[in-house]
Amino acid sequence: MASHRKSRPTGTRVAGIRTPALATAALTSVALLSQSANAAPEADDKPSLEEVEKKVDDLYRQAESATDKYNAAKEKTAKQRKRVDTLLDDVAQRTQKLNEAREELGSFASAQYRTGAAAPDTATFLLADTPQDYFDQTQLMDRMTGRQKVAVDDYVTQQSETMKKRREATESLATLTDSQDGLRTAKATVQRKLAAARELMSTLTAEEKARLAAIEKEKRAEAARKADELARQQAARQKAQDEAAQQQDSGSSSSGSADSGSSSSTPPADSSYATKADKALAFARAQIGKPYVWGAVGPGSYDCSGLTQAAWKAAGVTLPRTTYDQVNAGTTVPLSQARPGDLVFFYDDVTHVGIYIGNGMMIHAPKPGTYVREESIFYDGESAIHSMVRPA
């Protein structure tokens, strides 16, 4: 018997409502469009050019900070290694003297044995765990000859000093190991930051790199304008000072015209600084064009603090190795009173330094991939300047 039930229409049921096949296709399209819309932001997750630039700059700054830590660890390691070498040489010399003192005591023991002396005190002394143990238990010194006493005194002294130096050497070796670990850690950090910066730059297209170069050019132009403005301010300030000095000299000469003899002009109190600064600047200028290499102190390459240290060393002034030590190696002066030769430090964590040459300009070793060059002290904006320090 045939069924009288009507066939169920094709399609799907949405919220209890039958939908035709066309509606199903439409819903499928909507779902796909929705997924595409949700996926779109993920495809646009690439950072903007400005974000890339900021990230790269931050990585280079972090690398400079790590470089300073590397420089400090390297300096500490070198000093500690020198101390260890000195201590080991001292221990070797004292061990030799101790052996000589022991041989002398041994000769006394042999002589006592050959002659059948009644009190082989020297032999007993040599067999004791320590000289002091023996002295605490016997009256050895009272029964020894004068020569034996001198030999024993020398042996005790040499043994005590040798043991002391051996302990110092052991402790210094442990400190040296720690310094070397710190050196390796700082080196790895620098390499990691620089690799991250290079990798980030490699993601840019040629067009983006060109735009980034244009932005950098604009920043340099703005920095040059600020340098010119500072130069005008400093020139005006110097002119006012010179005029005031001339008026003072004029008044002094008129009031002192009755004095006998010719008076010689007194050189400025800071003329010695100018002389040293000239030498430091001459050295720095001679390094222009040499590559920045982190941890380098010349003569073929430099990092920022390596350059300033070498420049002032040429002027006879010894500066510490790192930027955060150099910033405390002189007198802080206002930017308005900056003079050629002063050190200009950057950023709150004092991770960069250049040597001021006047007119708002400096010579510095900027960062990896660049060369020692003249540049405006406003190269990264006025807010980046931390302080100015006169080192001598």
So which residues are the catalytic ones? 304, 352, 364
Residue 230 one-letter amino acid: L
Tokens, residue 256 = 């002192």
Q: Which residues pair with 358 in a beta bridge?
A: 361
Q: Which CA distances in Å does 35 have to 42, 46, 349?
A: 11, 20, 46
Q: Are 377 and 367 in contact (CB under 8 A)?
A: no
Burial class (CB in 10 A: 0-12, 13-18, 19+), 201: middle
Q: Where are the beta strands (DSSP E) in the chain?
A: 12-14, 17-19, 331-333, 343-346, 352-358, 361-364, 373-376, 385-390
Q: Are 366 and 292 in contact (CB under 8 A)?
A: yes
Q: Are 325 and 387 in contact (CB under 8 A)?
A: no
Q: What is the largest CA-CA distance in the chain?
A: 151
Measure the CA–CA gap between 179 and 192, rounded to whole angstroms.
Answer: 20
In this structure, how many other beta carbons lie within 10 angstroms of the beta carbon of residue 70? 25
